[in-house]
Amino acid sequence: MNMPVKSSINLSALHGVSLLPTLGVIQAQGEDAANFLHNQLSNDVLLLPVGQARLAAFCSAKGRMQASFIVIKTAPDNVLLILSQDLLAQTLKRLSMFVLRAKVKMSDATSQWQLRGLLGENALKLTDDATPWQTMLHDGVHTVALYPAVLGDTRTPRALWVASVEQTLPTGPDVSAEVWQWTEVLSGVTLVSQPVFEAFVPQMLNYESVGGVNFKKGCYPGQEVVARSQFRGTLKRRMALVHSPVLMAAGQEVFTPEDPEQACATVVLSAARPDGQGFVALVSGTLESMQTGWRVGKSDGQALNFLPLPYPLLADI
């Protein structure tokens, strides 16, 4: 069901700086850092220019996402992986298992870096008209342009500000973590968290459409499954943006009235609307069930309202 949701929110007036308590930082340091990560992730790290960023997934051998990152190459021998904090310890352990003789040291560097989310004017003044994942480097500060939050015809710039602990923090109105998460949902792009660990291949979160998968790079864990899903037409799930009258949580199952016993979708990220008019969520589900409608929690639960994604999905590569 697609119905307009009335809103009193002036998204274009929203600007400021947000803490990002749910994110952490893994650092890969050493002369083999870029090459090592290139062989582990779904995107090209080897040819990533110094000072620039990319989205990437870390998958199991079956192509299921165990984590995803905003990857920033801060120097030829230093790469930062910004990820969901609740996956940091296990992801660091797993990546370290593959280091073997590579000249790279993996570590939890969360305490060494400051992370802030920038919205509206605060993002725009540091990123200008940069496209998503383009990164501005100024005096040791990396500002990564993110996908904007989109509400109707209004688009609000978003950016990730990354700097060492010695740097002065950006100034601007305080934006709560809850509002930042709401804008993340509205951007249609999110990182994997613990509740959806190994639940999706990258295309189920639309990663191939938002710059998170490079189909021309060499092998990495799960690469064959990811490529087969893309080129053989076996992908049957996508991520959608929805409005819900009730609160939902990451990992929660979604059903369709036509099949009350079998979940057809899974909540990836949810957030409350600041105007109190329900919630918005990113939900990954079967293409077939999107045609019949989704219900929260059970087949006779509250109906979800599909909203337009803020970017086009790639039909092929």
pLDDT, tens only, 20-34? 999 999 999 999 999
Task: Look at residue 153 and tell me if it is in a domain.
Answer: yes
pLDDT score recorded for residue 49: 97
Are 210 and 275 found together in one domain?
Answer: yes
Task: Look at residue 298 and tell me if it is in a domain.
Answer: yes
What Cα–Cα distance (Å) separates residue 201 from each residue in 26, 231, 238, 267? 22, 14, 10, 15
Confirm if 236 and 158 have CB atoms less than 8 A apart. no
The CATH number for 300's domain is 2.40.30.160
Q: Which residues contact 187 (CB under 8 A, 6 or more apart)?
A: 146, 147, 148, 149, 150, 158, 310
Single pTM value for the model:
0.93
Q: 208 is in which domain, residue-wise?
A: 194-307
What residue ranges of the chain have pLDDT lower than 70? 1-8, 230-234, 316-317
Are 123 and 213 found together in one domain?
Answer: no
If you compute the radius of gyration of the chain from its CA atoms, what whole number of angstroms results? 19
Are 23 and 166 found together in one domain?
Answer: yes
pLDDT score recorded for residue 1: 47
Please report, rounded to a whole number, the percentage of residues in the chain having pLDDT higher than 70.
95
Task: Look at residue 312 and tell me if it is in a domain.
Answer: no
Task: Look at residue 183 and tell me if it is in a domain.
Answer: no
Q: Mean pLDDT over all residues of the chain?
A: 92
Give the chain's domain count. Answer: 2
Tell me if residue 306 falls in helix, strand or coil: strand
pLDDT score recorded for residue 7: 58
